[in-house]
Structure 1
Amino acid sequence: MSEEMDIDSCPPQGTKRKADDALALPAPRRIKALDQDVVNKIAAGEIIVAPVHALKELIENAVDAGSTALEILVKDGGLKLLQITDNGHGIDKEDLPILCERFTTSKLKAFEDLTSIGTYGFRGEALASISHIAHLSVTTRTKESSCAWRAVFADGKLISPKPGQSAEARPIAGRPGTQITVEDLFYNVPSRRRAFRSASEEYAKILELVGKYAVHCSGVSFSCKKHGDSSSGLSVPVSAGIVDRIRQVHGTNVANELVNFKTENDRWGFKCEGWISNANHSAKRTTMLLFINHRAVDSAVIKKSVEQTYATFLPKGGHPFFYLSLDIEPQRVDVNVHPTKREVHFLNEDEIIAIICDEIRTSLGKVDTSRSFMTQSLLSNPKATLATPMRQITPGTPTRQDTPDHSVTKSAPKTVTKKPYENNLVRTDASARKITSMLQTHRPADGEVIEQTEDMEYEYTDKEPTICKLDSVKKLRAEVRDNMHNELTEIISTHTFVGIVDEQKRIAAIQGGVKLFLVDYGMLCNEYFYQVGLTDFANFGAIRFNPPLSIHDLLKIAAEQEKRNAGEEAGEVDWEDVVDSVNEQLIDRRALLAEYFSMEISEDGDILSIPLLMKGYTPSLAKLPQFLLRLGPHVDWASEKECFQSFLRELAAFYVPESLPLAPSSTATQADAGNGNRKAMEEDQEISLRRKKLKSTIEFAIFPACKARLVATKGLLKGVMEVANLKGLYRVFERC
């Protein structure tokens, strides 16, 4: 009992000293230099955290050495054995004594070289760090050497392989290149070695790392396998292209859904090329392969920004695959910010990421492939499943609906654990024949699309695209993105066109999922052409007039129309003064109009060209006089941002398809025919032709374009109305 009392009476580990306590302070400890062995082990622990970090350093050294073939051998997740063999230029025998000393490198001579570093490694710490926490041996042979040389290292120094032998490198037979063998990693750091839970987990990290460099390093073959296995865990041939390398590493499902894109910007000094998955690929987690100046790095900011870009294209919970190779001017990059070189810092990060994400969004919008839906099969066998996965169909590919598709039969599952309800099945296929194609009225012969203008000829120029650097345009683009409605954008991007309901009110029907919508395509086109004006700003094509048209004459025509529409109030306006004022405004600003909008006006006041926003579609030129007249009072020429915004809005309104009168109904035609009015049976030939062209243009040009690149804004909600829902219809029929 007394012993327990003695224990309890011991003072606690920490005591709280009050301000007024006169306790004697301990004497200050003297500062002294750490032992060099401790310094080296601390440095090694910062650089080599796990076997995968050691392998990363060795792979980068091998690629820097000009290797075209890398063979990697792993045992116990790299803790027992980690060996890499390359066919690079090798190491000179004279350099072996200092090979594993700290800060010995052939890639850096002065501190200023860091501003133009172009290799993976540069500090000369990798092999030194490994030699302090593992048994390291190097076998190397240069092209000029007659034999290979083998050296063993410990704590950064050459050591003898066996007691009593010389520590000098000894000659052996070997092929050109270098083989580095790392054994018993962390043998002298037991606390870190115990932290690794399983060898298979470490091996998976190694395969992931090798896969990154196998994708990026074109012209280099990679092979990685476990010690004792006859087959490789990963093998990529030297001749494989990037897509084939992605297929070898990440699988066919990813490789078949890739989109290539490139972008660059001289102001921010970067170039970017990459391969990204399209909207058909969706995974449970994001796969990011990011290389900055050919260095594999991680960036939470880039990853999050790209994921947000994909949010409008992928279903909820879906994640993309993307591989980005970003080349930035070396003086803008600081590579020396992380011991393992896992991170780098570079200037203008936000601007560069924004440009890359815009290009990704544009590239995804241009992809014209169908999504995967569930389609109902009509089979004679009552035991057959009613829902089978529909094979993906690229537009333009003929469908074989009359013959069985053996490829689908083979890939279909033998058993279905959960039968989908019929009210959830989407019965659409964008490439299938439509009901309207079976009608005699307005049917294009043999799938022929009616051209907008038969006399139009296209001329292509070698003009380089203009990079828009105006803050006003960037702000207008940002406003569109901020005003985006995600659900409506998803509906537009995946819709199936049903048909035009009313040419006068400009209403069309589309199907999105299991719902049917009526869309005001006038509003839809207005927003689409406004966004085209922003994205293609200063890079428009041109519709040229031959011969040129007089702006003054066109403005007089528009003024007469306005005068008739104004009625009694027309007398209060001096229309001649309005015409002269607008005419003078347009002539004075012809340089601005030509530079940014491809709208050329001569000094004499003739209009030579107007902007071309969509190939294959010419707006109704009957609206041209009104368009020119509105450029005077409805465009704010005093402020840059407001000027561009108001002009593009007027241009978009000009491009909106015209409103046509309703077609004569069959009932009215029969009644009029019975009264002897034969003229009522036939619609005016010109209006009939315009109606055919309009229907063809809307179905085959405008709606596919909106599907590919329109960002549906919240304002478009006024022009979209849901009229039918398959689930709701099933509930109605169930009550009958």
Structure 2
Amino acid sequence: MELLEDLSYMAQKWRDPRPLDVNVVNKIAAGEIIVAPVHALKELIENAVDAGSTSLEILVKDGGLKLLQITDNGHGINRDDLPILCERFTTSKLKVFEDLTSIGTYGFRGEALASISHIAHLTVTTKTKDSNCAWRAHFSDGKLVPSKPGQSADPKATAGRQGTQITVEDLFYNVPTRRRSFRSASEEYAKVLDIVGRYAVHCSGVAFSCKKHGDSTTGIATPANATIIDRIRLIHGSPIANELVELSIEDETYCFKVQVFTSNANYHVKRTTLLLFINHRAVESSSIKKALEQTYSAFLPKGGRPFIYLSLDIEPSRIDVNVHPTKREVNFLHEDEIIERICDEVRVKLAGVDRSRTFMTQSLLPGARVSLTAANPEKENEPSTPANSREKRQPQKTYENNLVRTDAKLRKITSMLPPSDLDPSSTKCPGDPTNDDMEYEYSDREHTLCRLTTIKELRAEVRENMHNELTETFARHTFVGIVDERKRIAAIQGGVKLFLVDYGMVCNEYFYQVGLTDFANFGVIQFNPPLQLRDLLQIAAQHEKELAAKECPPDAMTVDTEFDFNWHEVVALVEQQLLSHREMLHEYFSLQISPTGELLSIPLLMKGYMPSLAKLPRFLLRCGPNVNWMSEKECFRTFLTELAAFYVPESLPLKPSLPAAGAEGSSREREDSSLQDIAARRAQLSRVVENVMFPAFRARLVATRGLLRGVVEVANLKGLYRVFERC
């Protein structure tokens, strides 16, 4: 009976909602904005910089939980404004909602001081330039309170210098659960030093100092006139500052400017250090961080991470700053394009630095003795005696199982194969990257900005499905050779491991990603004269019909089967679909079809490689039933899937034997011609795979988890030597 009464009482409570008390609302809001002492300090630093300060002094006790004090020399606060200073949503930086589109300051909501006053004891001492004295005020729950019971709550006159000093004491004193969640004061102080260090690097012209209460030395101290590199040296150390490279980017198309100080290939640590500022606001971005780490994977050892300071300025109307309570995240237009542009510039800069490095090397002939005295010039002229000869240390032996091939020009697997009667190396083919016969024309067409949400979602799906280890393997691999042209298998070396790769599967994924990256900006392969679309579709239909007849059992040829349908109707339907979408195909995919049904061009996805045009009829026919023309996202996905399959190198047959000597003349000539065509295509693909495709994989392939099925580790150098030692 009591249980029924309790349930009835609870149900009554749910049926009678009532507004929360204002004090409860304010404490909930404060808990969202001030999560830890470091968040309170971040808000206070931003307010001080907004006030035009050139010097900030920060004092911390017990990680900021007991005391958090910041003193600046900014404009100060008028005495008349102090009563409303800590009221929620009180700000001078925002008047109407539309002002959010042009926010150029750190704060704008007017919630920082209000939130702090609800969970700590807050004291503000301030003096403006025109004031004769400073004013001190105490706040609690957003309102003025007396410093001692029985006194007036009005601000009191006091001695002080121009600027503002904000003192936060006993943070979270009325939220015991939150206060108990902090593990140690030293850990919170480390977070405080991190956020102070970030702003100390970024805020040029502002001096910073931060120390613990009672300590005589400062944890961070930077002068106002220090450069960015000097600030990085003072805060993060000389080893980082000595290895920095600087680059600046300015793009009128996307309306942004970037300044980057990033470590070169000589410096690396276990965790990435990214100081990211967007419109001078310290923020976090997993997309930017992952993209930069992927860029560096081609330059740093396995597990190595860079140091990066990146300041991104975007036109205020293109950025949304009101997406996170603590302003830790922001959203901006053309995020993928801007990130890609930054990574490209970083890659070029790092490659240039890498080429400029020089190394001193010395080669030793087999069997030559190493002169130990030459390593120590002071002992070079000493006489050789048994005493000092025992002091000479023998050179440390380098074991062969730790030596790997590092020069891609060294001997490959293909050089060990026996020569063939049809030597591919003696044949020059169209499409060969080393052949000068291929000509390209550069048009004046401007780059098209992709603003389609569906394409951005498809790109994000690729990034989310990325396999980091496999991507790094492709980014740092060395091509060994083609193992099987019919099964499309090649061998690559990654570190001390040897892998067999299904390059047909890898090409399929790579060309799909190229389709997403270069969407609406493809090159063009033009047909002169144009090809008849209907003729190509009929060729594909005839081929499919013949394949269906071969797969159909002989005893089933007399009855209706799934293959027995009107192919002429299929051709007409597919032709109608392509013609009805020809404007979209031309605009987005550079696949141009005339109103009369002539195929004028197809997209060019890779310079130096011509896909097999024998696959073109089947590609066009499959665009009918295999492309979802009803949904935009699925249409793009399925069409790019079919386009990637068309671009995958075809599986070549085994090398045929030469025709018999007694064969008829015309038959022999046809077979000779066929052999020459196959040999020419084999030579072409062999050179393209090695010189064009795998270098492209190294530069821009994002290896997804699905590619794990197409990559097999077949040897490990250290493991092989362990086997040899047992033999």
Instruction: Give TM-score, length-normalised by structure 2.
Output: 0.62
| Alpha-carbon distance, 1:467 to partner | 2.1
Q: Following the alignment from structure 2 to structure 1, what is the Cα–Cα distance between the partners of residues 649 and 358?
A: 32
> Amino acid of the residue matched to residue 540 of structure 1?
F
Which residue is 1:655 aligned to?
647
1:567-646 maps to which residues of 2 (within 5 A)? 582-632=574-624, 635=627, 637=629, 643-646=635-638
Contact 1:452 1:617 in 2 (8 A): no
1:114-133 matched pairs, under 5 angstroms: 119-120=106-107, 122-123=109-110, 126=113
Amino acid at match of 1:456: Y
The structure 2 residue matched to 1:497, chosen from 450, 466, 479, is 479
| Superposed counterparts of 1:311-322, under 5 Å | none
**2:686 is aligned with 1:702:** no
- 1:551 Cα offset (Å): 3.2
Equivalenced residues, count:
624
Per the TM alignment, residue 64 of structure 1 is displaced from its structure 2 partner at its CA by 1.8
1:17-73 deviation digits (Å, cap 9, x = unpaired): 9999xxxxxxxxxxxxxxxxxx99999999989865664343122122133553546
- Give, in whole Å, the separation in 2 of the partners of 1:650 and 1:343: 43
Task: Return the offset for 1:545.
Answer: 3.8
Question: Per-residue CA shift, 1:343-362, capped at 9, x if unaligned?
Answer: 7899xxxxx79997998799
Match of 2:411 among 435, 447, 459: 435
Measured against aligned partners, the alpha-carbon deviations of 1:610-654 in whole angstroms (never above 9, x if no partner) come to: 112234433244543453344456556566666544433332222
Q: Are the structure 2 counterparts of residues 290 and 517 from structure 1 closer, same or farther at C-alpha, using a change threshold of 3 Å?
A: closer
More off after superposition, 461-470 vs 615-624: 615-624
Q: Is the 8 A contact 1:48 1:130 kept in 2?
A: no
Matches within 5 A, 1:166-181: 169=157, 178-180=163-165
Residue number among 506, 513, 520 corresponding to 2:488 in the alignment: 506
CA change 1:248–1:640 in 2 (3 A) is same
1:209 aligns with 2:191: no
- Aligned CA distance change for structure 1 residues 171 and 436 (closer, same or farther; 3 Å): same
Aligned to 1:730: 721
Q: Which residue of 2 aligns with 1:515?
A: 497
Q: Does 1:468 align with 2:457?
A: no
Pick from 319, 322, 326: which aligns with 1:333?
Answer: 322
Counterpart residue number, 1:531 = 513
**Aligned partner letter, 1:469:** T
Alignment root-mean-square deviation, CA: 6.7
Judge conservation of contact 1:309–1:357 (CA < 8 Å) in 2: no
Matched with 1:385 is: none
The two structures have a TM-score, normalised by structure 1, of: 0.61
Structure 1 pair 400/210, CA: closer, same or farther in 2 (3 Å)?
closer
Q: Distance in 2 between matches of 1:59 and 1:70?
A: 8
Q: Distance in 2 between matches of 1:580 and 1:45?
A: 65
Work out the CA distance in 2 between the residues paired with 1:722 and 1:369. Answer: 31
1:501 touches 1:508 (CA, 8 Å); kept in 2?
yes
> Corresponding residue for 2:56?
70
Q: Contact conserved, 1:468 with 1:538, CA < 8 A, in 2? A: no
Query: Structure 1 residues 363, 168: closer, same or farther in 2, change over 3 A?
Result: closer
Mapped to 2, the partners of 1:395 and 1:692 lie a distance apart of 33
Aligned to 2:434: 450
Equivalent residue in structure 2 for 1:551, among 519, 523, 533: 533
Q: For residues 697 and 78 of structure 2, what CA distance do their matches in structure 1 show?
A: 62
Partners in 1 of 2:35 and 2:501 — Cα distance? 58
Give the conservation status (yes or no) of the 8 Å contact 1:218–1:238.
yes
Mark the CA change 1:604 to 1:238 in structure 2 (over 3 Å): closer, same or farther.
farther
Q: For residue 67 of structure 1, what is the amino acid of its counterpart? A: S
Contact kept, 8 Å, 1:466 with 1:539, in 2: the verdict is no
> Which residue does the alignment assign to 2:390?
none
Which string of whole-angstrom CA distances, capped at 9 and with x for unpartnered residues, describes residues 556-577 of structure 1? 6667877898999999998877
- Give the Cα–Cα distance (whole angstroms) in 2 for the partners of residues 104 and 635 of structure 1: 52
- Contact 2:94 2:109 (C-alpha < 8 Å) held by counterparts: no
- Structure 2 Cα separation of the partners of residues 581 and 206 of structure 1: 67
**CA distances 1:257-296 after superposition (whole Å, capped 9, x unpaired):** 9999999xx9xxx999998999989866676767798665
Q: Distance in 1 between matches of 2:574 and 2:32?
A: 71
* Contact map agreement 1:368 1:708 (CA 8 A) in 2: no
CA contact (8 A) 1:52 1:205 kept: yes
Distance change >3 Å, CA 85–CA 625, structure 1 → 2:
same
* Deviation digits for residues 146-184 of structure 1 (CA, Å, limit 9, x no counterpart): x87434445657999xxxxx9864688x6xx51527498
Structure 2 counterpart of 1:528, which letter?
Answer: Y
* C-alpha deviation, 1:578, in angstroms: 6.7
498-507 vs 125-134, greater mean Cα deviation: 125-134
Match of 2:134 among 141, 146, 150: 150
Q: Is the 8 A contact 2:481 2:491 kept in 1?
A: yes
Closer, same or farther: CA 462–43 of 1 in aligned 2, 3 Å: closer
- Tell me whether 151-160 or 703-712 shows the greater mean CA deviation: 151-160
Q: What are the residue-to-residue correspondences of 1:403-422 with 2, within 5 Å?
A: 403=362
- Report the more deviating stretch, 641-650 or 354-363: 354-363
Aligned partner of 1:233 in structure 2 is 220
CA distance in 2, matches of 1:399, 1:548: 53
With over 3 angstroms needed to count, the CA separation of the structure-2 counterparts of 1:178 and 1:247, relative to structure 1, is same
Following the alignment from structure 1 to structure 2, what is the Cα–Cα distance between the partners of residues 563 and 46? 66
Q: Aligned in 2, Cα 1:426/1:64: closer, same or farther, shift over 3 Å?
A: farther
For residues 32 and 464 of structure 2, the distance between their equivalents in structure 1, rounded to whole angstroms, comes to 43
How far apart are 1:510 and its partner, in Å? Answer: 0.5
Task: Determine helix, strand or coil for the equivalent of 1:70.
Answer: strand
In the TM superposition, residue 210 of structure 1 has moved relative to its aligned partner by: 0.9
Cα distance between partner residues in 2 of 1:662 and 1:42? 73
How far the C-alpha of 1:696 sits from its partner, in A, is 3.8
Partners in 2 of 1:556 and 1:41 — Cα distance? 73
- C-alpha separation in 2, matches of 1:639 and 1:693: 38
8 A contact 1:158–1:168 mirrored in 2:
no
Q: Quickly say closer, same or farther: Cα 1:542–1:158, change in 2 above 3 A.
A: farther
State the shift of 1:365 in Å: 10
Alpha-carbon contact 2:433-2:609 (below 8 Å) kept: no
Give the 5 Å matches for 1:304-383. 333=322, 342=326
Aligned partners of 1:79, 1:642: CA distance in 2, in Å? 53
Q: How far apart in 1 are the matches of 2:191 and 2:31?
A: 18
8 Å contact kept, 1:451–1:693: no
Whether the 8 Å CA contact 2:433–2:608 is kept in 1: the answer is no
- How far the C-alpha of 1:733 sits from its partner, in A, is 0.7
Write the deviation string for residues 453-497 of structure 1: whole angstroms up to 9, x where unpaired: 621123352233222223xx6776677678766664554344321
- Cα-to-partner distance string for 1:309-356 (whole Å, 9 max, x where unaligned): 989998999999887989898999377xxxxx647899xxxxx79997
CA drift at 1:721: 3.7
- CA distance, structure 2, for counterparts of residue 637 and residue 54 of structure 1: 53
